[in-house]
Amino acid sequence: MKDTILSILRHLLTIGGGVLVTRGVLGESTVEGLAGTAIAFIGGVWGAVDEYRASKKAKEAANG
């Protein structure tokens, strides 16, 4: 599920970036860098939240 959502987000960022490049707002390399950074950040935060939730469930199961 996570990979699917990140893939969709990556495509949306690419489309949005294409619009910004076409209008001359940003350069192509800038858009690529920003999109990559956004995907990495979101993926990292998502992974940390998943890890926290799994840890919390394990503690609850151990405590009964």
| Mean pLDDT confidence for 29-48 | 93
DSSP class of residue 1 equals -
Cβ–Cβ under 8 Å, residues 35 and 13: yes
Give the total number of structural domains in the chain.
1
Q: Is the pLDDT of residue 52 over 80?
A: yes
| Mean pLDDT confidence for 51-58 | 94
**Could you list the residue range(s) of the whole structural domain that residue 59 is in?**
2-63
pLDDT exceeding 90 applies to what percent of the chain? 84
Whole-number Å distance between alpha carbons of 34 and 53: 28
Say which residue the tokens 């495509």 belong to: 11
Q: What is the pLDDT of residue 57?
A: 93
